Structures are given as structure tokens and as C-alpha cells.
Amino acid sequence: MSVDIIFSTIEDSEALTEPLDLGEGTVSDNLSEVQVFIRHTGEQPITNAKLYLGSYSDSYDSVSDPQTDYDNIVNQSIGLLKINIDYANNFPSGSWVTVGSSNLNSLTNAIALGTIPAGEETGVSIKLKFSFNGSISDSNKIGRRLIDLRLTYTYTN
């Protein structure tokens, strides 16, 4: 039996069908937090769930190319992408992790989510936010950026 992973921005709602938009801003803006709910359709829990970033793997329509966007996010050359997975404690401000060269940039540096309960009820939730750092140049253009947020896990039926 296969298991479908469902990412949504509203609890227990339909799966996202478009890339998640973290908003628009200008240099030095802090964008609003976006909450993402993760659940699955399996009859057993998912274990060993981890999140990490990768170059965008779908149809691409950004200002550069998938690898450059990924490098700019990981190297923090356009701003800071942050993630908070402490849903059990209502996402305290001290729990934000900044994506960078040693955090979430590969499967080796993935952030552990743990177990996602069985069934289609909301299993876990994360929050994402982005702040621009003002390092914009001709080679580092303002515009839409696309990256993958990837989930790896173990599922045994």
C-alpha cells in the first residue's frame, strides 16, 4: 500500500497544488510566518521524519536557476529563511532555526520531525519565515525564488 504525504496551509484541508508563497517584500523586510501542516494517508505512523532543502525540482519560473536559488538561500546571500518545528509548544520564539550551510541544506543536515501519526488528521506542523538582508546586486536579483522543502521518512505497513 502506498502512502500519500499531504502539505497544506490550513489544518485538515486540501493539499497544496502550487508552490508555497512566503510573501513579497523589499530589502530589510521581515515577511509574515507561514504555517504548514503535514499529514499522510497511511494506516501506520510515519517514523524518522526529517526535513531538508534541495534545489527546486519542478517547472521553473524564477529570476535565475534552481541551483542558484538554492545556493542563495543556503549561503544567506539574499536573506534568512527560518523554520520552527516546535508545534508541541506553540512555536516559541527561541525555537527558530536559520537555514544555512550547516542546517537543513542536505539530508545529512536535515532537521528531525520525529513521528507523524497515522491517518489523515494533522500529524505535525511547522512554521516558515523569511527576512531579506539587503544584499541585492545585479548577480543577486530581486525576484521570485524557488526551492524544495523535502521530507524523508520511514513507513512500514
> What CATH number should be reported for the domain holding residue 38?
2.60.40
138: left (phi over 0), alpha (psi -120 to 50) or beta: alpha
Amino acid (1-letter code) at residue 43:
E
Single pTM value for the model = 0.81
To which residue does cell 489523515 refer? 120
Q: Into how many domains does the chain fold? A: 1
Report pLDDT digits (tens) over 24-82: 666 666 667 889 999 898 889 999 999 998 888 888 777 778 888 888 888 887 778 88
Residue 116: which domain range? 5-154
- pLDDT top residue among 150 and 145: 150
**90-143 confidence digits (pLDDT tens):** 899 889 888 887 778 888 889 888 898 887 666 788 888 887 765 555 455 556
C-alpha cell at 31: 515577511
